[in-house]
Amino acid sequence: MGRRFQSSTRRRVREKEIDLNSGSAAVGLAIFLAAHGACLSQQATTQPSRPWMNPSLSPDQRAEEVMKQLTLDEKIQLVHGIGWGPLKTGSPIPPDNNGGAGEVLGIPRLGIPSLQQADSAVGVRMAALQSRYATLLPSVLAAASSWDPEAAHLYGDVIGRELRAQGFNQSIGGGVNLARDPRNGRLFEYAGEDPLLAGVTVGHVIRGVQDNQVMGDIKHFAFNDQETGRAIVDARISAKAARESDLLAFELGIRIGEPSSVMCSYNKVNGDWACENEWLLNHVLKGAWHFPGFVVSDWDGTHSTEKAAVAGLDMQMPGDEYFGAALKEAVASGRLPLHRLDDMVHRVLRSMFSAGVIDHPPTTRRVVDPFRGREDARHIAEESIVLLKNDGTLPLNAGAVRSIAVIGAHADVGILSGGGSAQVDAPGGNAISPATPTQWGEAVYFPSPPLRYIREHAGGARVQFDAGTDAASAASLAQSADIAIVFADQYMSESGDAPSLSLPGRQDELITAVAAANPRTIVVLITGNPVTMPWIDHVAGVMEAWYPGIGGGQAIANLIFGSVVPSGKLPITFARSESDLPHERIFGMTHSSAKGDSPTFWAADKQQRQSLVADYKEGVRFGYKWFDSEGKQPLFPFGYGLSFTKFRYTNLRVEPATKTATFAIQNVGPRSGTEIAQVYVQLPKSSGEHFRRLAAWQRVDVPAGQQTVVTVPLEPLAMATFDVKKDAWVWASGKYTISVGGSSRDLPLVTDVVLY
């Protein structure tokens, strides 16, 4: 709006000047400070002329005080962002730009800083462009596998503190779309298939971010549940099913995390674009949930001016096509009431005050602590790796093993990460091709090689590596070793889905050949999504490590050798085949879905001119609710995961007054361990539901031979249905069946109780 910025080339020159700390750098700095000095020097001081700097006023009062000072142009400036920043060559870049995916210019004369927005789904993105380092965390799906709100909080804390250290004041992470389809390319950015587990996980991630006085976000609102055709697809779903599934995950995430913003998604929902969807934005989000923050569009997800503004969109990102001059004109001509523009601006400002980015701006840049980041990432990975099969071969006893064959997935140099706007830059470049700059859609490996950490644990055992590119050579190495550990991986990214549930390439063949050569074969999966396992009956053990982050190599080795006892459990069902899913094919997937195909990224965009419908007629019945109500046998059920010890459940009591479940867990095995105890509820018959819902859980450490008594509150919304006529949650009277145990398919304790 009325401001011109230097080109990216000029900006690079300016940065170089500052970096060189030369005389011209000082001049550059002086110019920068002249423009923005007011903003830096007057923060957090209460001045009579700036009543909004009085921290004893509420964020809403402070926002109103600022509003009194703003011109119409300044208001317009606060509801859209600048270009694609460094994402697109030649984009205009403001002088104070921090190198993130977005920037909304502040109002320096009033001490309102710019919003510096950074993608940070699994760690801060694009750090390398600024010669910075950022910690790669395990995937969000992995964090959900820990079922540990504290680990989720730590996850957000790592992101928040590194954003802050790098001068960003808003995270645009917080993905919580439910896993309606296990082939969705962004599942690694999300927290699984259950609304309660996903909402609680992401809510705590957001809290962790915001505890660093960095604004948090939740996305992609809503039903962006596949990447294929994401910019054209119309997700159709009944209001009841919507509220009880994907929207419930958002509702809980927002309740717990109180994010500054909600990012609306690219797709349509029941005929209207999500970013101009009156029902979604005004009725549900701002009406029913009283969300006080702002709605920001996904990048280029805005489609109109008045319609979007009236429907509840508060900020277009990036660019000003709709929320720049066109918005000003709409207000000036009376087509959009000024009070709606004021509401948009108020929401942005109150969120900034509330998160603390005006009182405590991230002005002191620091180099992040890579060691602390790696330790935190390793801890989360260790809690989240899921042991799926073990015939007793694990943990390996270093003293008793003479030789180990490590095979596949570049386990000699690194560990795979997820791509797209969740891609964190690998220190030293891609571990498998360090010399070349990484491209969108390229599988990036991080320097946390499992081989190295397996060797560290293996004592005197001979540990040899085979790349796994030739099944016969891998099998021959496996045959010569006591133990074979095969790594198999699957690269996933935004803008593409997996064409099938199979591991890509010829990895199934490789595992089959290795297992045939050595029955003591352990498979370690480094995947974004669940996969099928045609070789499952022939291997000794399987570990799902997801994308385990920068501490992944260590975490995997620590579990294999038993210095850490596995505790993670699946936040998503593993199907035996595509034909067991609610939809055998992803809506609109046009290219071949032959087993072993890799995803094709940007396949979605090739369909820009077509329309596409995703008819979610299964409603809430996906994941375990689908398998349970259809009587289908999954490969591994939701909530499943093994330990190196065994737990026994006894003495269930459900207290209707407090709506709590109390039960005892006994560790009847040889080792201390951590159990994730799960409570499911089946609603009274009148609901017509033929499946259970997760209603509570507790992650609990139980020493060997001991017993712990657990009391957990049942989540009221997990026991409610949404009454569309009343436009409200309702709780049926009658008997609720409460089941407790170690997975959705292993529930030894059951009781019926009238709760409402």
Binding site for ligand BGC (CB under 6 A): 101, 119, 172, 219, 298-299, 421, 494
Helix (H) or strand (E) holding 753: strand 749-754
Please calculate the CA angle 124-128-130 and round it to the nearest 5 degrees: 95
Q: CB of residue 620 vs ligand BGC: minimum separation in angstroms?
A: 25
- Which CB atom, from 119 or from 580, has the smaller least distance to ligand BGC? 119
Q: Which has the closest alpha carbon to 208: 120, 296, 94?
A: 120
Shorter beta-carbon distance to ligand BGC: residue 448 or 493:
493
Work out how close the CB of 560 gets to ligand BGC at its nearest, in angstroms, rounded to a whole number: 34
CB of 491 to ligand BGC, least distance (A): 18
Query: Concatenated DSSP letters for 26-40?
Result: HHHHHHHHHHHHHHH
Reduce the secondary structure of 677-733 to three states and give it as a string: EEEEEECCHHHCCCCCEEEEEEEEEECCCCEEEEEEECCHHHHCEEECCCCEEECCC
Local structure of 649: helix, strand or coil: strand
Beta carbon nearer to ligand BGC, 281 or 454: 281
CA distances (Å), origin 466, targets 409, 452, 504, 506, 547 = 10, 14, 18, 15, 21
For the residues of 484-546, what is the DSSP string, one character each?
A: EEEEEEE---TT---SSSSPSTTHHHHHHHHHHH-SSEEEEEEESS----TTGGG-SEEEE--
Start-to-end C-alpha separation, the chain: 56
Is the distance from CB of 582 to CB of 620 less than 8 angstroms? no
- Looking at the chain, how many residues does it have? 756
CB atoms within 10 A of CB 71: 9
Closest distance of CB 444 from ligand BGC, Å: 16
Q: How far is the CB of 496 from ligand BGC (least distance, A)?
A: 12
**CB-wise, 219 or 520, nearer to ligand BGC?**
219
- Rg for the chain, CA atoms, rounded: 26
Q: Which region holds residue 546: left if phi is over 0, alpha if psi is between -120 and 50, else beta?
A: left
Q: Is 705 left (phi over 0), alpha (psi -120 to 50) or beta?
A: left
CA distance 188 to 504: 16
317 vs 416, which CB is nearer to ligand BGC?
317
100-127: b (≥16 Cβ within 10 Å) or e: bbbbbbbbbebbbbbbbbbbbbbbbbbb
DSSP assigned state of 86: G
CB of 605 to ligand BGC, least distance (A): 11
Output the smallest distance, CB 298 to ligand BGC, in A.
5
Q: How far does Cα 226 stand from its chain's mean position?
A: 14
Do residues 568 and 146 lie in contact, with contact meaning Cβ atoms separated by under 8 Å?
A: yes
Residue number with CB closer to ligand BGC (263 or 511): 263
Specify the residue, 186 or 374, whose C-beta has the smaller distance to ligand BGC. 186
Please, which residue, 299 or 465, has the CB nearer to ligand BGC?
Answer: 299
**Interatomic CA distance for residues 221 and 201, integer angstroms:** 17
Question: Measured from the CB atom, is 232 or 559 closer to ligand BGC?
Answer: 232
**Burial environment of residue 134 by CB neighbours within 10 A (0 to 12, 13 to 18, 19 or more):** buried
Nearer to ligand BGC, 147 or 250 (CB): 250
Looking at the Cβ atoms of 421 and 674, the one nearer to ligand BGC is 421
Cβ–Cβ under 8 Å, residues 47 and 53: yes
**Are the beta carbons of 224 and 177 closer than 8 angstroms?**
yes
Q: How far apart are CA 317 and CA 303, in angstroms?
A: 11
| Least distance CB 683 / ligand BGC (angstroms) | 34
Q: In 3D, which of 12, 53, 15 has the Cα closest to residue 349?
A: 53
Report which DSSP code applies to 658. Answer: T
Q: What tokens were used for 669?
A: 């095995």
Q: How far is the CB of 527 from ligand BGC (least distance, A)?
A: 21
The closest alpha carbon to 411, from 532, 536, 507, belongs to: 507
In the complex with ligand BGC, the residue whose CB is nearer, 421 or 607, is 421
Helix (H) or strand (E) holding 205, with range, is: helix 195-210
Which is closer to ligand BGC, CB of 275 or CB of 642? 275
Q: Which is nearer to ligand BGC, 223 or 299 (CB)?
A: 299
In the complex with ligand BGC, which residue's Cβ is closer, 264 or 700?
A: 264
Strand partners, 407: 466, 486
- Residue 685 beta carbon to ligand BGC: minimum distance, rounded to whole angstroms: 41
Min CB(591)–ligand BGC separation in Å = 21
Q: Measured from the CB atom, is 86 or 449 closer to ligand BGC? A: 86
Please state the separation of Cα 654 from the chain's center in Å: 33
The least CB distance from residue 101 to ligand BGC, in Å, is 4
Least distance to ligand BGC, CB of residue 140, Å = 12
- The one-letter code for the residue type at 703 is P
Tell me how far, at minimum, the Cβ of 263 lies from ligand BGC, in Å.
Answer: 7
Of 108 and 185, the one with the shorter C-beta distance to ligand BGC is 185
| DSSP letter (8 states) at residue 113 | P
Q: From CA 662, how far away is CA 16, in angstroms rounded?
A: 62
Least distance CB 677 / ligand BGC (angstroms): 34
Supply the minimum distance, in Å, between the C-beta of residue 119 and ligand BGC: 5
- Min dist. Cβ of residue 219 to ligand BGC (A): 6
Distance of closest approach, residue 264 Cβ to ligand BGC, in angstroms: 11
Longest dimension (CA), the chain: 82
- Residue 299 or 622 having the CB closest to ligand BGC: 299
Nearest to 120 by CA among 150, 87, 162, 81: 162
